[in-house]
Amino acid sequence: MKIICFAGTKGGTGKTTNSHAAAHGLAMLGIPAAYVLTDKRQLPSDDKRVYSVIDGRTTDLLEQAVATAKGHNGAGVLVIDGGGNREAVDKLINSVSDAVFLPFGASDDDLETVKEDLKRFPKAWALPSNWPNNTKAKEIDSGYVDKLAADFPDRILKELVATHAVRDLVLLQFSGILLPPAQRFCKLLARQVLDVLPF
């Protein structure tokens, strides 16, 4: 079983949303997936999800989830949500993950933070997340990706176009229904995850 995480020292970049979306997308592609919550929020229900939800809100619980995944020979993926700005947790999950994803938005602050995180985490990939879909905004925001590519040309994933519907996955009681734009988002993210995972 592979382990991935969504991390980063800046809050509000989409770590939680992308963690859920990756787990959902992997399951849609036929790969068993589990989402691990590591911060103090309430544990969401997995009753109607196509992936499992695991409690990793304490060090012991997180270590137990990782040990179980490492001891499992199956083809599944454990998706760890790094949550808010917690450097110690980021270091721990980076050390056990096969791949690390660093979501970032189109802002100077996000760009500087993701550069520092890419230096700190050698297994990390920058993930342009919540990207605009209108042509003019895309053209402007592509400058952030270009700046990052100058320093890290082979460690940037394809931009994921924003869709508010994917946020339904973050709800404590997910209805089990995901609109088509959100389904596409999840599948695209899952395919990018699979492209960089060492199988």
What is d(CA 39, CA 83) in angstroms, rounded to the nearest whole number?
6
| Residue that the structure tokens 């999800």 belong to | 49
**Bridge-partner residues for 161, per DSSP?**
131
Domains plus CATH for the chain?
2-196 (3.40.50.300)
Most confident of 85-89, 156-160, 161-165: 156-160
**Bridge-partner residues for 6, per DSSP?**
81, 101
Can you give the pLDDT at residue 126? 97
**Is residue 85 scored above 90 in pLDDT?**
no
What is d(CA 6, CA 89) in angstroms, rounded to the nearest whole number?
11
Specify the pTM.
Answer: 0.94
What is d(CA 167, CA 178) in angstroms, rounded to the nearest whole number?
10
- Exposure pattern of 64-90 as b/e (b: 16+ CB <10 Å)? ebbeebeeeeeebbbbbbbbbebeebb
| Residue that the structure tokens 């997308």 belong to | 25
**Is residue 15 scored above 80 in pLDDT?**
yes
**Is residue 61 scored above 80 in pLDDT?**
yes
